[in-house]
Structure 1
Protein backbone atom coordinates (compact mmCIF):
# COMPACT_ATOMS: atom_id res chain seq x y z
CA UNK A 1 0.00 0.00 0.00
CA UNK A 2 2.18 2.79 -1.28
CA UNK A 3 0.93 6.35 -0.97
CA UNK A 4 0.16 8.26 -4.14
CA UNK A 5 -0.44 12.00 -4.27
CA UNK A 6 -3.20 11.40 -6.84
CA UNK A 7 -5.10 9.20 -4.37
CA UNK A 8 -4.24 11.03 -1.13
CA UNK A 9 -5.82 13.56 1.14
CA UNK A 10 -4.24 15.00 4.32
CA UNK A 11 -6.73 15.26 7.19
CA UNK A 12 -5.70 17.36 10.21
CA UNK A 13 -8.07 16.81 13.12
CA UNK A 14 -8.69 19.44 15.80
CA UNK A 15 -5.28 21.08 16.27
CA UNK A 16 -7.04 23.94 18.03
CA UNK A 17 -5.51 26.85 19.93
CA UNK A 18 -7.54 26.33 23.11
CA UNK A 19 -6.69 22.64 23.36
CA UNK A 20 -2.99 22.67 22.45
CA UNK A 21 -1.61 24.02 25.78
CA UNK A 22 -2.61 20.77 27.51
CA UNK A 23 -1.46 18.42 24.72
CA UNK A 24 1.88 16.65 25.22
CA UNK A 25 4.00 17.27 22.11
CA UNK A 26 1.28 19.56 20.78
CA UNK A 27 3.81 22.01 19.36
CA UNK A 28 5.54 19.21 17.48
CA UNK A 29 2.18 18.01 16.12
CA UNK A 30 1.44 21.49 14.78
CA UNK A 31 4.93 21.87 13.30
CA UNK A 32 4.82 18.51 11.53
CA UNK A 33 1.23 18.90 10.32
CA UNK A 34 2.00 22.38 9.01
CA UNK A 35 5.15 21.16 7.26
CA UNK A 36 3.40 18.24 5.55
CA UNK A 37 0.33 20.37 4.82
CA UNK A 38 2.43 22.99 3.06
CA UNK A 39 4.14 20.28 1.01
CA UNK A 40 0.76 18.69 0.22
CA UNK A 41 -0.50 22.02 -1.05
CA UNK A 42 2.50 22.41 -3.33
CA UNK A 43 1.83 18.92 -4.73
CA UNK A 44 -1.92 19.53 -5.15
CA UNK A 45 -2.84 17.02 -2.45
CA UNK A 46 -6.03 18.26 -0.75
CA UNK A 47 -5.69 19.33 2.88
CA UNK A 48 -8.75 19.19 5.10
CA UNK A 49 -8.85 20.57 8.66
CA UNK A 50 -11.50 19.85 11.29
CA UNK A 51 -12.50 21.78 14.38
CA UNK A 52 -14.46 20.37 17.32
CA UNK A 53 -16.60 22.89 19.21
CA UNK A 54 -14.54 25.97 18.24
CA UNK A 55 -16.68 28.21 20.49
CA UNK A 56 -15.11 26.49 23.51
CA UNK A 57 -11.80 25.15 22.19
CA UNK A 58 -10.93 28.02 19.86
CA UNK A 59 -10.24 27.78 16.18
CA UNK A 60 -7.37 25.96 14.55
CA UNK A 61 -3.88 27.00 15.65
CA UNK A 62 -3.02 30.14 13.63
CA UNK A 63 0.50 28.87 12.77
CA UNK A 64 -1.09 25.81 11.20
CA UNK A 65 -3.52 27.83 9.11
CA UNK A 66 -0.75 30.20 7.97
CA UNK A 67 1.10 27.20 6.49
CA UNK A 68 -2.06 25.98 4.73
CA UNK A 69 -3.26 28.74 2.43
CA UNK A 70 -5.38 26.26 0.48
CA UNK A 71 -7.36 24.00 2.82
CA UNK A 72 -10.94 23.04 3.47
CA UNK A 73 -12.24 23.68 6.98
CA UNK A 74 -14.87 21.45 8.58
CA UNK A 75 -16.60 22.13 11.87
CA UNK A 76 -17.96 19.03 13.51
CA UNK A 77 -20.11 17.88 16.39
CA UNK A 78 -19.28 14.17 16.17
CA UNK A 79 -15.92 13.10 17.56
CA UNK A 80 -15.34 11.12 14.36
CA UNK A 81 -15.30 13.43 11.33
CA UNK A 82 -16.56 10.68 9.03
CA UNK A 83 -19.75 10.50 11.14
CA UNK A 84 -20.67 13.97 9.84
CA UNK A 85 -22.84 13.29 6.75
CA UNK A 86 -21.59 16.29 4.73
CA UNK A 87 -17.97 15.34 5.42
CA UNK A 88 -18.51 11.69 4.44
CA UNK A 89 -20.31 12.71 1.26
CA UNK A 90 -17.64 15.21 0.23
CA UNK A 91 -14.86 12.70 0.88
CA UNK A 92 -16.60 10.06 -1.23
CA UNK A 93 -17.09 12.60 -4.03
CA UNK A 94 -13.40 13.61 -3.87
CA UNK A 95 -12.36 10.18 -5.14
CA UNK A 96 -9.46 10.12 -2.65
CA UNK A 97 -9.05 6.69 -1.06
CA UNK A 98 -5.87 7.26 0.98
CA UNK A 99 -6.23 9.48 4.05
CA UNK A 100 -3.12 10.65 5.88
CA UNK A 101 -4.50 11.35 9.36
CA UNK A 102 -3.14 13.41 12.25
CA UNK A 103 -4.20 15.80 14.99
CA UNK A 104 -5.49 15.77 18.55
CA UNK A 105 -6.64 14.18 20.67
CA UNK A 106 -5.23 10.95 19.31
CA UNK A 107 -7.33 8.67 21.49
CA UNK A 108 -10.61 10.51 20.92
CA UNK A 109 -11.30 12.48 17.73
CA UNK A 110 -8.36 11.26 15.64
CA UNK A 111 -8.96 7.61 16.50
CA UNK A 112 -12.73 7.78 16.03
CA UNK A 113 -12.21 9.53 12.69
CA UNK A 114 -9.72 6.85 11.65
CA UNK A 115 -11.98 3.99 12.69
CA UNK A 116 -14.86 5.50 10.74
CA UNK A 117 -12.67 5.87 7.66
CA UNK A 118 -11.48 2.26 7.92
CA UNK A 119 -15.07 1.04 8.33
CA UNK A 120 -15.97 2.96 5.15
CA UNK A 121 -13.17 1.26 3.19
CA UNK A 122 -10.51 4.00 3.10
CA UNK A 123 -6.79 3.38 3.54
CA UNK A 124 -5.71 5.25 6.68
CA UNK A 125 -2.14 6.38 7.33
CA UNK A 126 -1.56 7.47 10.96
CA UNK A 127 0.96 10.34 10.95
CA UNK A 128 2.71 9.46 14.19
CA UNK A 129 4.72 12.59 15.01
CA UNK A 130 1.76 14.89 14.24
CA UNK A 131 -0.79 13.03 16.38
CA UNK A 132 -0.93 13.77 20.10
CA UNK A 133 -3.02 13.62 23.27
CA UNK A 134 -2.92 15.11 26.75
CA UNK A 135 -0.96 12.07 27.84
CA UNK A 136 1.63 10.35 25.63
CA UNK A 137 0.41 6.94 26.75
CA UNK A 138 -3.04 7.62 25.35
CA UNK A 139 -1.57 8.65 21.98
CA UNK A 140 0.52 5.47 21.93
CA UNK A 141 -2.47 3.30 22.81
CA UNK A 142 -4.56 4.98 20.09
CA UNK A 143 -1.83 4.30 17.50
CA UNK A 144 -1.65 0.65 18.56
CA UNK A 145 -5.41 0.25 18.33
CA UNK A 146 -5.51 1.94 14.93
CA UNK A 147 -2.71 -0.22 13.49
CA UNK A 148 -4.44 -3.34 14.81
CA UNK A 149 -7.59 -2.13 13.03
CA UNK A 150 -5.71 -1.75 9.74
CA UNK A 151 -4.19 1.75 9.71
CA UNK A 152 -0.53 2.17 8.76
CA UNK A 153 1.79 4.17 11.02
CA UNK A 154 3.91 6.63 9.00
CA UNK A 155 6.23 9.59 9.46
CA UNK A 156 6.01 12.88 7.59
CA UNK A 157 9.17 12.04 5.66
CA UNK A 158 7.74 8.70 4.55
CA UNK A 159 4.64 10.43 3.23
CA UNK A 160 6.61 13.25 1.57
CA UNK A 161 8.95 10.97 -0.35
CA UNK A 162 6.16 8.61 -1.42
CA UNK A 163 4.21 11.58 -2.75
CA UNK A 164 7.31 12.89 -4.55
CA UNK A 165 8.22 9.45 -6.01
CA UNK A 166 11.44 10.40 -7.82
CA UNK A 167 14.40 12.74 -7.58
CA UNK A 168 14.60 13.85 -11.22
CA UNK A 169 11.16 15.50 -11.20
CA UNK A 170 11.01 19.29 -10.97
CA UNK A 171 8.49 18.97 -8.11
CA UNK A 172 11.10 17.08 -6.08
CA UNK A 173 13.70 19.77 -6.74
CA UNK A 174 11.31 22.51 -5.67
CA UNK A 175 10.16 20.57 -2.60
CA UNK A 176 13.73 19.73 -1.65
CA UNK A 177 14.74 23.39 -1.73
CA UNK A 178 11.60 24.58 0.04
CA UNK A 179 10.56 21.83 2.44
CA UNK A 180 13.05 19.00 2.82
CA UNK A 181 16.37 20.72 3.57
CA UNK A 182 17.15 20.90 7.25
CA UNK A 183 14.45 18.49 8.41
CA UNK A 184 16.89 15.95 9.82
CA UNK A 185 18.17 18.54 12.29
CA UNK A 186 14.85 18.66 14.17
CA UNK A 187 14.51 16.13 16.99
CA UNK A 188 11.22 14.26 16.84
CA UNK A 189 9.31 12.44 19.52
CA UNK A 190 7.18 9.53 18.44
CA UNK A 191 4.15 9.05 20.66
Structure 2
Protein backbone atom coordinates (compact mmCIF):
# COMPACT_ATOMS: atom_id res chain seq x y z
CA UNK A 1 0.00 0.00 0.00
CA UNK A 2 3.01 2.31 0.25
CA UNK A 3 2.75 3.82 -3.21
CA UNK A 4 1.17 7.28 -3.22
CA UNK A 5 3.86 9.79 -2.17
CA UNK A 6 2.85 13.05 -0.51
CA UNK A 7 4.80 16.20 -1.37
CA UNK A 8 5.27 19.21 0.88
CA UNK A 9 5.11 19.40 4.66
CA UNK A 10 1.46 20.44 4.78
CA UNK A 11 0.05 17.60 2.67
CA UNK A 12 -2.09 14.97 4.31
CA UNK A 13 -1.03 11.35 3.93
CA UNK A 14 -3.76 8.65 3.89
CA UNK A 15 -3.21 5.99 6.59
CA UNK A 16 -5.22 2.97 7.62
CA UNK A 17 -5.10 2.59 11.40
CA UNK A 18 -5.75 -0.88 12.84
CA UNK A 19 -6.35 -1.95 16.41
CA UNK A 20 -7.48 -5.45 17.41
CA UNK A 21 -9.95 -6.56 14.71
CA UNK A 22 -10.91 -3.01 13.70
CA UNK A 23 -9.46 -0.74 10.98
CA UNK A 24 -10.22 2.91 10.30
CA UNK A 25 -9.01 5.08 7.39
CA UNK A 26 -7.57 8.42 8.42
CA UNK A 27 -4.95 10.99 7.38
CA UNK A 28 -1.98 12.71 9.04
CA UNK A 29 0.30 15.55 7.88
CA UNK A 30 3.33 14.38 5.85
CA UNK A 31 6.32 14.00 8.19
CA UNK A 32 4.20 12.89 11.16
CA UNK A 33 5.92 10.48 13.50
CA UNK A 34 5.27 8.28 16.51
CA UNK A 35 3.68 10.82 18.87
CA UNK A 36 1.24 12.21 16.27
CA UNK A 37 0.16 8.68 15.32
CA UNK A 38 -0.34 7.64 18.95
CA UNK A 39 -2.58 10.67 19.46
CA UNK A 40 -4.50 9.84 16.28
CA UNK A 41 -4.97 6.24 17.49
CA UNK A 42 -6.21 7.41 20.88
CA UNK A 43 -8.65 9.86 19.28
CA UNK A 44 -10.17 6.97 17.29
CA UNK A 45 -9.83 3.99 19.63
CA UNK A 46 -9.27 5.70 23.00
CA UNK A 47 -12.21 4.05 24.74
CA UNK A 48 -10.83 0.59 23.90
CA UNK A 49 -7.16 1.21 24.73
CA UNK A 50 -5.59 1.19 28.18
CA UNK A 51 -3.72 4.51 27.92
CA UNK A 52 -1.33 3.49 30.72
CA UNK A 53 0.20 0.79 28.54
CA UNK A 54 3.25 1.15 26.33
CA UNK A 55 2.74 0.67 22.61
CA UNK A 56 4.60 -0.68 19.60
CA UNK A 57 3.94 0.86 16.19
CA UNK A 58 4.01 -1.46 13.19
CA UNK A 59 3.85 -0.83 9.44
CA UNK A 60 2.50 -3.29 6.88
CA UNK A 61 5.32 -4.22 4.48
CA UNK A 62 4.35 -5.29 0.97
CA UNK A 63 7.81 -6.82 0.55
CA UNK A 64 7.46 -9.09 3.59
CA UNK A 65 3.67 -9.54 3.44
CA UNK A 66 3.39 -8.86 7.17
CA UNK A 67 3.64 -6.09 9.77
CA UNK A 68 7.13 -4.96 10.78
CA UNK A 69 8.17 -2.97 13.86
CA UNK A 70 8.98 0.73 13.42
CA UNK A 71 11.51 2.70 15.47
CA UNK A 72 10.32 5.83 17.29
CA UNK A 73 12.21 8.12 14.92
CA UNK A 74 10.28 7.28 11.73
CA UNK A 75 8.13 9.75 9.78
CA UNK A 76 5.17 9.10 7.49
CA UNK A 77 5.73 10.27 3.91
CA UNK A 78 3.51 7.97 1.86
CA UNK A 79 0.21 6.15 1.96
CA UNK A 80 0.49 3.24 4.38
CA UNK A 81 -1.19 0.82 6.76
CA UNK A 82 -0.33 1.05 10.44
CA UNK A 83 -1.29 -0.76 13.59
CA UNK A 84 -0.78 -0.22 17.27
CA UNK A 85 0.24 -3.17 19.45
CA UNK A 86 -0.20 -2.70 23.23
CA UNK A 87 2.84 -4.04 25.09
CA UNK A 88 2.46 -5.99 28.29
CA UNK A 89 4.10 -3.90 30.99
CA UNK A 90 3.53 -6.10 34.04
CA UNK A 91 5.56 -9.27 33.56
CA UNK A 92 4.39 -10.94 36.76
CA UNK A 93 2.04 -13.68 35.60
CA UNK A 94 0.20 -16.04 37.92
CA UNK A 95 -0.07 -18.66 35.21
CA UNK A 96 -3.57 -19.95 35.82
CA UNK A 97 -4.91 -22.00 32.91
CA UNK A 98 -8.49 -22.76 31.92
CA UNK A 99 -9.68 -24.55 28.76
CA UNK A 100 -11.94 -21.62 27.77
CA UNK A 101 -9.05 -19.14 27.51
CA UNK A 102 -6.20 -21.40 26.34
CA UNK A 103 -4.79 -22.16 22.86
CA UNK A 104 -2.04 -24.72 22.11
CA UNK A 105 0.74 -23.78 19.64
CA UNK A 106 2.64 -26.76 18.16
CA UNK A 107 5.78 -25.45 16.45
CA UNK A 108 7.65 -27.19 13.61
CA UNK A 109 7.64 -30.82 14.80
CA UNK A 110 8.82 -32.00 11.38
CA UNK A 111 10.36 -35.12 9.91
CA UNK A 112 13.70 -33.59 8.85
CA UNK A 113 14.40 -32.48 12.41
CA UNK A 114 14.24 -36.07 13.70
CA UNK A 115 17.97 -36.92 13.46
CA UNK A 116 19.17 -33.47 14.55
CA UNK A 117 17.12 -32.45 17.60
CA UNK A 118 18.25 -33.69 21.02
CA UNK A 119 15.71 -36.07 22.63
CA UNK A 120 13.38 -35.68 19.63
CA UNK A 121 11.69 -39.03 20.34
CA UNK A 122 10.84 -37.86 23.87
CA UNK A 123 9.61 -34.50 22.57
CA UNK A 124 7.29 -36.24 20.07
CA UNK A 125 5.97 -38.52 22.81
CA UNK A 126 5.14 -35.57 25.09
CA UNK A 127 3.74 -33.56 22.17
CA UNK A 128 1.35 -36.43 21.45
CA UNK A 129 0.08 -36.27 25.05
CA UNK A 130 -0.55 -32.54 24.72
CA UNK A 131 -2.45 -32.90 21.42
CA UNK A 132 -4.52 -35.72 22.90
CA UNK A 133 -5.30 -33.59 25.97
CA UNK A 134 -6.28 -30.65 23.75
CA UNK A 135 -8.77 -32.85 21.86
CA UNK A 136 -10.28 -34.20 25.11
CA UNK A 137 -10.68 -30.71 26.58
CA UNK A 138 -11.75 -28.97 23.37
CA UNK A 139 -8.73 -26.64 23.27
CA UNK A 140 -7.89 -25.10 19.86
CA UNK A 141 -4.54 -26.17 18.38
CA UNK A 142 -2.51 -24.10 15.90
CA UNK A 143 0.32 -25.97 14.14
CA UNK A 144 3.21 -24.50 12.14
CA UNK A 145 5.60 -26.17 9.69
CA UNK A 146 8.87 -24.40 8.85
CA UNK A 147 9.51 -24.51 5.09
CA UNK A 148 7.78 -27.92 4.67
CA UNK A 149 8.98 -28.22 1.06
CA UNK A 150 12.50 -28.69 2.40
CA UNK A 151 11.93 -29.90 5.96
CA UNK A 152 8.93 -32.19 5.49
CA UNK A 153 5.55 -32.30 7.20
CA UNK A 154 4.78 -32.76 10.89
CA UNK A 155 5.93 -36.22 12.02
CA UNK A 156 3.33 -38.96 11.54
CA UNK A 157 3.24 -39.82 15.25
CA UNK A 158 1.66 -36.43 15.98
CA UNK A 159 -2.09 -36.71 15.42
CA UNK A 160 -3.27 -33.33 14.12
CA UNK A 161 -6.94 -34.40 13.90
CA UNK A 162 -9.14 -31.44 14.77
CA UNK A 163 -6.33 -28.83 14.66
CA UNK A 164 -7.77 -25.37 14.04
CA UNK A 165 -4.96 -24.48 11.66
CA UNK A 166 -1.86 -26.11 10.11
CA UNK A 167 0.20 -23.57 8.19
CA UNK A 168 3.59 -23.36 6.42
CA UNK A 169 6.00 -20.55 7.27
CA UNK A 170 9.46 -19.22 6.56
CA UNK A 171 9.52 -16.66 9.39
CA UNK A 172 10.85 -18.15 12.62
CA UNK A 173 8.01 -16.78 14.75
CA UNK A 174 4.58 -18.42 14.48
CA UNK A 175 2.96 -15.00 14.99
CA UNK A 176 1.89 -14.19 11.42
CA UNK A 177 -1.19 -12.21 10.27
CA UNK A 178 -3.18 -15.41 9.57
CA UNK A 179 -2.41 -16.72 13.06
CA UNK A 180 -3.38 -13.42 14.67
CA UNK A 181 -6.65 -13.52 12.70
CA UNK A 182 -7.27 -17.10 13.92
CA UNK A 183 -6.60 -16.03 17.53
CA UNK A 184 -9.02 -13.12 17.14
CA UNK A 185 -11.72 -15.70 16.25
CA UNK A 186 -11.24 -17.49 19.59
CA UNK A 187 -13.23 -15.52 22.16
CA UNK A 188 -11.34 -14.97 25.38
CA UNK A 189 -8.01 -16.44 24.17
CA UNK A 190 -5.49 -15.30 26.78
CA UNK A 191 -3.02 -18.12 27.51
CA UNK A 192 -0.84 -19.81 24.87
CA UNK A 193 0.70 -23.22 25.64
CA UNK A 194 3.71 -23.44 23.31
CA UNK A 195 5.86 -26.47 22.43
CA UNK A 196 8.02 -27.84 19.60
CA UNK A 197 11.40 -26.93 18.11
CA UNK A 198 13.82 -25.24 18.24
CA UNK A 199 13.69 -23.74 21.73
CA UNK A 200 16.20 -20.96 21.04
CA UNK A 201 14.84 -20.00 17.61
CA UNK A 202 11.18 -20.48 16.63
CA UNK A 203 9.92 -21.16 20.17
CA UNK A 204 11.78 -18.17 21.62
CA UNK A 205 10.74 -15.75 18.86
CA UNK A 206 7.11 -16.92 18.97
CA UNK A 207 7.06 -16.50 22.77
CA UNK A 208 8.52 -12.98 22.59
CA UNK A 209 6.00 -11.93 19.92
CA UNK A 210 3.09 -13.36 21.93
CA UNK A 211 4.06 -11.77 25.23
CA UNK A 212 4.57 -8.47 23.39
CA UNK A 213 0.95 -8.69 22.28
CA UNK A 214 -0.31 -9.21 25.81
CA UNK A 215 -0.74 -13.01 25.84
CA UNK A 216 0.39 -15.14 28.78
CA UNK A 217 2.82 -17.77 27.45
CA UNK A 218 3.46 -21.24 28.91
CA UNK A 219 6.39 -23.12 27.36
CA UNK A 220 6.28 -26.88 27.91
CA UNK A 221 9.93 -27.68 28.72
CA UNK A 222 9.59 -31.46 28.26
CA UNK A 223 8.02 -30.97 24.80
CA UNK A 224 10.53 -28.39 23.55
CA UNK A 225 14.09 -28.94 22.37
CA UNK A 226 16.99 -27.81 20.14
CA UNK A 227 19.93 -29.37 18.31
CA UNK A 228 22.10 -28.19 21.20
CA UNK A 229 21.27 -28.63 24.88
CA UNK A 230 23.20 -25.44 25.63
CA UNK A 231 20.94 -23.42 23.30
CA UNK A 232 17.87 -25.10 24.73
CA UNK A 233 18.69 -24.46 28.39
CA UNK A 234 19.83 -20.84 27.95
CA UNK A 235 16.68 -20.04 25.95
CA UNK A 236 14.43 -21.49 28.68
CA UNK A 237 16.37 -19.53 31.30
CA UNK A 238 16.10 -16.27 29.34
CA UNK A 239 12.36 -16.70 28.71
CA UNK A 240 11.64 -17.50 32.36
CA UNK A 241 13.38 -14.28 33.40
CA UNK A 242 11.03 -12.11 31.32
CA UNK A 243 7.84 -13.57 32.76
CA UNK A 244 7.16 -16.47 30.42
CA UNK A 245 6.07 -19.55 32.35
CA UNK A 246 8.35 -22.57 31.83
CA UNK A 247 6.37 -25.64 32.85
CA UNK A 248 5.81 -29.36 32.13
CA UNK A 249 3.21 -31.31 30.20
CA UNK A 250 1.72 -32.97 33.28
CA UNK A 251 1.47 -29.65 35.10
CA UNK A 252 -0.36 -28.08 32.11
CA UNK A 253 -2.85 -30.95 31.69
CA UNK A 254 -3.72 -31.18 35.39
CA UNK A 255 -4.01 -27.40 35.68
CA UNK A 256 -6.52 -27.43 32.82
CA UNK A 257 -8.81 -30.00 34.51
CA UNK A 258 -8.22 -28.44 37.98
CA UNK A 259 -10.53 -30.85 39.85
CA UNK A 260 -10.76 -34.62 40.34
CA UNK A 261 -14.50 -34.21 39.73
CA UNK A 262 -13.92 -32.69 36.27
CA UNK A 263 -15.86 -34.83 33.74
CA UNK A 264 -12.67 -35.36 31.69
CA UNK A 265 -10.31 -36.02 34.61
CA UNK A 266 -10.16 -39.80 34.09
CA UNK A 267 -9.29 -39.38 30.39
CA UNK A 268 -6.52 -36.90 31.25
CA UNK A 269 -5.32 -39.18 34.07
CA UNK A 270 -4.93 -42.01 31.55
CA UNK A 271 -2.63 -39.83 29.42
CA UNK A 272 -0.29 -39.07 32.33
CA UNK A 273 -0.41 -42.42 34.16
CA UNK A 274 3.13 -43.13 33.03
CA UNK A 275 5.40 -40.17 33.82
CA UNK A 276 6.57 -38.20 30.80
CA UNK A 277 10.18 -38.82 29.66
CA UNK A 278 12.66 -36.34 31.12
CA UNK A 279 14.14 -35.49 27.70
CA UNK A 280 17.53 -34.55 29.16
CA UNK A 281 16.14 -31.81 31.39
CA UNK A 282 17.52 -33.40 34.56
CA UNK A 283 21.00 -34.15 33.21
CA UNK A 284 22.56 -31.67 35.68
CA UNK A 285 20.66 -32.90 38.75
Number of matched residues? 186
- Report deviation, 1:40: 1.1
Q: Tell me the TM-score normalised to structure 2 length.
A: 0.62
Contact persistence 2:199–2:232 (CA under 8 A)? yes
How far apart are the structure 2 equivalents of 1:174 and 1:90? 28
SS in 2 for 1:125: strand
For residue 188 of structure 1, report the CA deviation from its aligned partner.
4.4
C-alpha RMSD over aligned residues: 1.5
Matched, 1:189 2:280: yes
1:140 to 233, 237, 245: 233
Q: Please, which of 109, 118, 122 is the counterpart of residue 15 of structure 1?
A: 109
* Structure whose CA Rg is larger: 2
| SS state at 2:259 partner | coil
Matched, 1:110 2:203: yes
So what's the TM-score if we normalise by structure 1?
A: 0.92
Aligned match of 1:5: 99
Structure showing the higher strand proportion among its residues:
2
What is the Cα deviation at residue 187 of structure 1? 4.6
Task: Please give the residue correspondences for 1:1-191 in structure 2 after superposition, counting only pairs within 5 Å.
Answer: 1=94, 2-64=96-158, 66=159, 68-71=160-163, 72-82=165-175, 84-95=176-187, 96-176=189-269, 178-183=270-275, 186-190=277-281
CA–CA distance in 1 between the matches of 2:268 and 2:238? 33
Query: How far apart are 1:87 and its partner, in Å?
Result: 1.1
Partner deviation per Cα, 1:50-93 (whole Å, 9 max, x = no partner): 101001110111101x3x321121211211111x1111221133
Shift in Å at residue 175 of structure 1?
2.4
Following superposition, the deviation at residue 49 of structure 1 comes to 1.0
- The CA distance in 2 between the partners of 1:34 and 1:20, in whole Å, is 15
Query: SS of 2:157's equivalent?
Result: helix
1:149-184 CA distance string (max 9 Å, x none): 2200110011011111110222112322x3122236
3-state DSSP class of the match of 1:170?
Answer: coil
CA contact 1:14–1:60 (8 Å) conserved in 2: yes
Gaps of at least 5 residues in structure 2 are 1-93
8 Å contact from structure 2 (residues 194, 219) kept in 1: yes
Residue pair 2:222, 2:278 contacting (<8 A) in 1 also: no
